[in-house]
Amino acid sequence: MEKRTFTRRQVLVTTSVGAIATIANWPFKSIFFAGKDDSKLAIHGGKPVRTESWPKWPVWDRSAEGDMIEMLRSGKWWRGGGGHVAEFEKQYAELMGAKRCLATASGTTALLIAMHVLGVDAGDEVLVSPYTFIASYNAILLSKALPVFVDTDPETFTIDPNKIEERINDRTTAILPVHIYGLPVNMDRVNAIARKHNLKVIEDACQAWLAEYQNKKVGTLGDLGCFSFQNSKHLPTGEGGALLGDDDEIMDRCHAFHNCGRPYGSVKAPTPYPTRGSNRRMQQFQAVMLMSQMKRIKKDADVRLENALYLTSRIKEIPGIIPYQLADGATRSAYHYYPFRYKKEYFNDAPRKKFLVALRAEGIPCWSGYGPQNKYGLIQEALNSRGYKRLFSEERLRRFHEENHLPGNDQLCQEAICFEQNMLLGKKSDMDDIATAILKIYENRDKLV
């Protein structure tokens, strides 16, 4: 990209007329036009833009305490035949527009169940987005399959659909698209490719509750969708997860597998354990917490969406700040993080790390997002193991390394910056603080390095 630096005047000239009007009306115009001392960066001893705290997460609703105590006193703590867990499954399926839900111990176990039931076996290959939490890779590796990374589109932060087909071979069994940060993947493209090559689609929607693709909830668009309810999530219960699916036979098999291989529905019992399985069950207290948390999830999602769109409108004209773009067909993000990209060329070549330190000093918590995990130690460790050497030829493992170069993903890992979801639960003025701080740093970019 062409290297450009801007003076304040050039910023005004190079943005559209509408944007100039917007800037003039910004609450941070005082910084924009104020004297030098007032706009001194906090890292250099200036006054931070913000000193107030941000909305806390998770939020406990005391009205659930009666139900929690009753459940504890009942002594019925494991899911057994159903109870609160079955009630939660019904409510979550309804909320998401799915036929069936199976509650699980975690998002990771949901992914593992999905892969087993959909036939991902030792020596298979699974196409996966590299830009994700490490659990997506681990679930494939624990299934003794090869995670084959498909490059990321840095604009959308999600799998690049144009790069999927070139990675398919006769061992490929499934595609695992990840709706990372709650940003929906282009599911029409993924599903069309999967149909063409007879592959299963397991959606990793572990960060994407109520996100929508063509106005349908993500996690209901592939063969199975997986969710996490870990402590930081929008529907939190410490640890927990769920699978969504519309096929009764597949969901019966998921249930049987998650319950040590005991019969369930169409999984019938000529013997007590007709199928392999594992204990991946949710506990009753988790379901009671989830049903209480679920009361706020839609309202929270609306607040996050409104604030995210507002924040985008505020920062998109700042040179070098590139907000996320929704993939084609995506209609709503869940914003588990609010992501954007930082182009250092517009900030006097100040490394992202400097920008992050400066932004934090202004009272705006921020994170650099995921690293290039496709190059992390776990991959080498797995591929060097006895099992993987038995399952995959030397030639295949060599080619895996050759192909493990993902320019789009590398670029994103260098440029991404994220705000946590709880920051979006505040007021518009909180978003103004974020925009003010970013613009203040832009204004002082010559002093950043």
Residues making contact with ligand PLP (CB under 6 A): 106-108, 132-133, 135-136, 178, 204, 206-207, 228, 230, 241
CB of 241 to ligand PLP, least distance (A): 5
CB of 337 to ligand PLP, least distance (A): 10
Give the nearer residue to ligand PLP in terms of CB position, either 132 or 286. Answer: 132
CB of 178 to ligand PLP, least distance (A): 5
- The helix (run of H) or strand (run of E) holding residue 323 is strand 321-323
Give the nearer residue to ligand PLP in terms of CB position, either 242 or 350. Answer: 242
With contact defined as beta carbons under 8 Å apart, do 311 and 318 qualify? no
Give the nearer residue to ligand PLP in terms of CB position, either 15 or 156. Answer: 156
With contact defined as beta carbons under 8 Å apart, do 233 and 133 qualify? no
Tokens of 447: 């002093």
CB of 370 to ligand PLP, least distance (A): 9
CB of 108 to ligand PLP, least distance (A): 3
CB of 106 to ligand PLP, least distance (A): 3
The counts of H helices and E strands in the chain are 16, 15
CB of 412 to ligand PLP, least distance (A): 15
Rounded to 10 degrees, the C-alpha dihedral 409/411/414/419 comes to -70
CB of 358 to ligand PLP, least distance (A): 28
* Helices 284-315 and 83-96: angle between axes, nearest 10 degrees: 30
- The helix (run of H) or strand (run of E) holding residue 136 is helix 135-142
Q: How far apart are CA 30 and CA 24, in angstroms?
A: 10
Strand order from edge to edge, sheet including 146-149: 100-104, 241-245, 224-228, 200-204, 172-176, 125-128, 146-149
Give the nearer residue to ligand PLP in terms of CB position, either 50 or 79. Answer: 79
Cα 90 versus chain centre, distance: 24
Give the nearer residue to ligand PLP in terms of CB position, either 136 or 156. Answer: 136
Ranges of H-type helices in 205-283? 248-258
Give the nearer residue to ligand PLP in terms of CB position, either 147 or 363. Answer: 147
Q: How far apart are CA 202 and CA 193, in angstroms?
A: 13
With contact defined as beta carbons under 8 Å apart, do 142 and 112 qualify? yes
CB of 301 to ligand PLP, least distance (A): 17
Chain residue whose CB lies nearest ligand PLP = 107
Give the nearer residue to ligand PLP in terms of CB position, either 114 or 291. Answer: 114
Cα 338 versus chain centre, distance: 10
CB of 107 to ligand PLP, least distance (A): 2
Give the contacts of 386 (CB within 8 A, at least 6 positions apart): none
With contact defined as beta carbons under 8 Å apart, do 112 and 139 qualify? yes
Q: What is the DSSP string of 374-411?
A: GGSHHHHHHHTSHHHHHHS-HHHHHHHHHH---HHHHH
Tokens of 178: 């990840």
Q: Is 204 helix (H, G, I), strand (E, B) or coil?
A: strand
> Of the candidates 131, 154, 129, which has an alpha carbon nearest to the alpha carbon of residue 324?
154
CB of 317 to ligand PLP, least distance (A): 31
Give the nearer residue to ligand PLP in terms of CB position, either 234 or 253. Answer: 234
Cα 170 versus chain centre, distance: 29
Give the nearer residue to ligand PLP in terms of CB position, either 203 or 443. Answer: 203
Cα 47 versus chain centre, distance: 34
Give the nearer residue to ligand PLP in terms of CB position, either 229 or 400. Answer: 229
> Of the candidates 296, 334, 283, which has an alpha carbon nearest to the alpha carbon of residue 88?
283
Please, which residues bridge with residue 176 across strands? 128
Give the nearer residue to ligand PLP in terms of CB position, either 133 or 355. Answer: 133
CB of 182 to ligand PLP, least distance (A): 10
Give the nearer residue to ligand PLP in terms of CB position, either 205 or 423. Answer: 205
